[in-house]
Amino acid sequence: MDQSILTLGGTSWINLVNTTYISNKQKIDILADASGALQWLKENHLLRESDLAALEKKEVLDSLLVELESIRTLCSTILSEIEQGEEHSLHTTNKLKKIAESLQVSLAIHSESEKLKMTVEGATVEDHVMYHIIDSIMTTFENTSPGRIRKCNHEECKLYFVDTSKGGKRRWCSMELCGNRKKAAEFYSKKKKK
């Protein structure tokens, strides 16, 4: 698996939607196997040391995966709503509220290299991961205009990303995955026409 695909969306809730993608005309689901799912969670900095230990129990991991798949569906609905120009319907807002209300979290103060830092800690792995995904959704809504949340321009690609470029003209999920193959195709089709 190409590592960059785990984080190219720029924020964990979009990276979560990007865990299903098309590669060589085949549908891939990173969450479908435990090692892919764990790698995705680690790369997105969603796990604490204690979570890693807890996830060694199969039932804890299975239960987390069920929750992740369910919130992935919600995240992908949110993205299609943005694409259609209607920002978060009552339906998605209510679902977000319901998840937020169900989470058990507390605050903790840490000292890191002589600086104090406050973090939100989930009571369980599930609470922790779900909190951070909800938090990433809310942070995107607060800081990003909907026009900056886009799908890759390549017709065979269904990856999403937050465009944080200065000019706001990013077209591809990544240059390596799609930009170059599209440019190569355009180059050859021009060459043929000549």
Alpha helices in the chain (DSSP H): 12-17, 34-43, 49-54, 58-83, 90-102, 125-143, 180-193
CB 14 within 8 Å of CB 149: yes
Please report, as residue ranges, which positions from 12 to 51 form the binding site for Zn ion (by CB under 5 A): none
Q: What are phi and psi of 86, to 5 degrees?
A: -110, 110
- Size of the residue set binding Zn ion (CB under 5 A): 6
* Run of H or E residues at 151: strand 149-151
CB closer to Zn ion out of 22 and 53: 22
Least distance between Zn ion and beta carbon 84 (Å): 20
Is 134 or 159 the residue whose CB approaches Zn ion more closely?
159
Q: Which of 71, 129, 130, 178 binds Zn ion (CB under 5 A)?
A: 178
Which of residues 95 and 170 has its CB atom nearest to Zn ion in the complex? 170
Stretch that binds Zn ion, among 4-12, 53-61, 126-134, 177-185 (CB under 5 A): 177-185
* 173 three-state secondary structure: coil
DSSP state of 121: E
Q: Judged by CB under 5 A, does residue 74 bind Zn ion? A: no
**How many CB atoms are closer than 10 A to CB 112?**
8
Query: Residue 144 CB, nearest distance to Zn ion (Å)?
Result: 19
Q: Which lies closer to Zn ion via its Cβ, residue 8 or residue 129?
A: 8
**Contact present, 161 and 12 (Cβ < 8 Å):** no
Taking the complex as a whole, the smallest distance from the CB of residue 122 to Zn ion amounts, in Å, to: 32
Contacting Zn ion (CB under 5 A), which of 72, 132, 154, 182? 154
* φ, ψ for residue 15, nearest 5 deg: -60, -30
- List interacting residues with Zn ion (CB under 5 A): 152, 154, 157, 159, 173, 178
